Structures are given as structure tokens and as C-alpha cells.
Amino acid sequence: MENLQSTLNSLVTNGASGVLLHRRSPDGDWIGVSGVGERSSRSPVDPESWFRAGSITKTFTAVVVLQLVGEGRLRLDEPVTAWVPKVPADISLRQLLNHTSRLHNYTDDLPDVAGLLRIRYDHWEPAETLAAVAGKPRVQADWSYSNTNYIALGLLIEAVTGRSYADEVRARILEPLRLTRTQAPGDEVVLPDPHLHAYLQADGQLVDCARMNPSQAWAAGQVASTAADLNRFYAAVLGGELLGADELAAMLTVVPSGDGTAYGLGVEQRTLPGGLVLWGHTGGIFGYFTLSYHSADLSHQLTLAHAGGSGDEPDTSPLLAELVGSAG
């Protein structure tokens, strides 16, 4: 697949430290890498590397919530304030899931890169994160992406089940699917080996960000995984292994998200120029950028992990079209 390899190489040329791609299409399966897994040692990228998946975590969170809906323990159009009092009484579960709550996005208040690097090992308490934005004005838009929504959903999961968010993800998703190379790591700062190292630039220096405390992203962005596991996870979601028919239909019911895409319950919908509709999510955290997109019939699946060498993310839309459409 020369075209695909050329695309990966160009990502490295344009600033990535290392990239890997697992792709399935009618043309066949393809796994490719480019760049280095770690800059100082110049070690090649291992195609089975772990990486931080960022906001792809939101699909995991949404699956757990929708399973609770399927069990009759929650209802999509009822307020969640009885479970999470810091959420205003007019906000429903569905609105948290599809980003129509208009809650202020707490990550908009994070410091600049240099400041963020200084606190990258700190523990963040989810309830405090939510409380810090509870009094802020609501966003004046019908749809507004907010990581705060998914912090609230993590707290909701814990309130309803009486168990930790990580335990629920493990018991409901990771263990049934045998996703042994995926974690909801909590305060664990070290990624398992082999893993990609991503970098951010601060004060003229590149800082290795593989080690960081992902509790600041929690149910909105803490998952660490591998490309093979993410492809398996989304195949199980779209294939109906994790959700009942009604819950899956609800997940795939979308609202416009204002940039030519649409958003369901914890999943993005993207329609490529040729008309192919893909479902999945992107994620970015501390120099890591991941995209994982899949057709509903699972004939096309791809997960790309991009470990930044400068903190810059690739332009997703044309990259997706190229990765899906390239026959090599």
C-alpha cells in the first residue's frame, strides 16, 4: 500500500514523531508505521504500541451510560441533577452525551503549554473539576463540545452503580471483549511498553509527555489503548455486542455539530466526499492525537495514532478521506 505508507511518512515529515495505522477495507487489511517511537533512542515505532487515546474515551463512557439506560436504571430524557447535583436541573442525560447541554468546557480554562506541563503529574478530583465550572455562564449555542459533560457522566456512573468509573469500564467493556491492551488508568502516569512517546514544545524545548497523570481528563479523555483494541472496540459497538438495539439506535441519532460533521451519543459521524459515512471519534491529549473511524457495516475500519513532535495535530478531514480511499 504505497499511498498509505506515503501518507504516514508525510505526517512525520510535517511534525509527527511517530505514527501508526491499522486499517481494514475491501482492499484488505494493512498495518503501517513511520517515524520513531522515542526520539532520544531513535527506536522504530512498534505497530502494537500503546498510546493515549484522549477523547475516544467518550465512546467508552457513553457505552457504559447507555448500558445503564438499557438496564432501566437511567432514562435519556430525564434530568441528571438527582445523581449529580452540580449539573443544572434543566440538563438531561441525552444533552450531556451529545454536547447540547451548553455547559462551559473546563479545558478552556487550562493554562498554556508551559503551565500545563508543570502540573502534568497532579491528581485531579472529578467532583472538583465539575464544581469549578458550575457557576460559569452557559454557552450560547445549540451545540458546543464540552469535556465537562463527560466529567459529569463519569460522576453519574459512579453515583448510579456505587463503583468506580474505571471498574465499570473494565467490567462492562474491557473484560467481555478481552481488550487486554486498553486501560482506564486513573492516576497511573506510566504507559505500558511498547508505547509511543509524544512531545510538546515549551520554552524552545521538546518535552516528552509519555508520562503524565491522566486524571485531569478522567471520563472525558483518560483511556490508553492500542490500534488493534480500538478497532475491536468500535466493531463491538457498531456490531451490537455491547448495546441493545434501542440504545445503539439512540447512540447513532445525531445533531449537527457545526463543522460539516454530526454528533450522536459519544460518537462522531463524518461523511466523506464520496458519500461513505463513518462513525467513531478523535482524541488529543499532551501531544497524542488519535482518530478511530468505522463504517456501520464494518467494511472500513481504521485507527491512526499520531505522536506529536511539536504538539500540532494533523488536519483530520482530508487525512480521513485519503486513508479510507487509498488503495495503494
Task: Please identify every residue annotated as catalytic.
Answer: 55
CA dist., res. 42 & res. 40, Å (int): 6
- 94 phi and psi angles, rounded to 5 deg: -60, -40
- Whether the Cβ atoms of residue 275 and residue 48 lie closer than 8 Å to each other: no
- The DSSP call for residue 54 is G
- Neighbouring C-alpha atoms within 13 Å toward the C-beta of 206: 18
Give the list of residues 6+ apart from residue 61 with CB closer than 8 angstroms, or none: 150, 153, 154, 157, 165, 169, 219, 220, 266
Sort 125 into a burial class: Cβ within 10 Å, 0-12 / 13-18 / 19+. exposed
Give the list of residues 6+ apart from residue 65 with CB closer than 8 angstroms, or none: 74, 93, 97, 153, 156, 157, 265, 266
Continuous segment of H or E residues that includes residue 49: none
- The DSSP call for residue 169 is H
Buried b (16+ CB within 10 A) or exposed e, 263-293: bbbbbbbbebeeebebbbbbbbbbbbbbbbb
User: Cα–Cα distances in Å, from 172 out to 79, 104, 301?
Assistant: 24, 29, 23
CA dist., res. 103 & res. 144, Å (int): 8
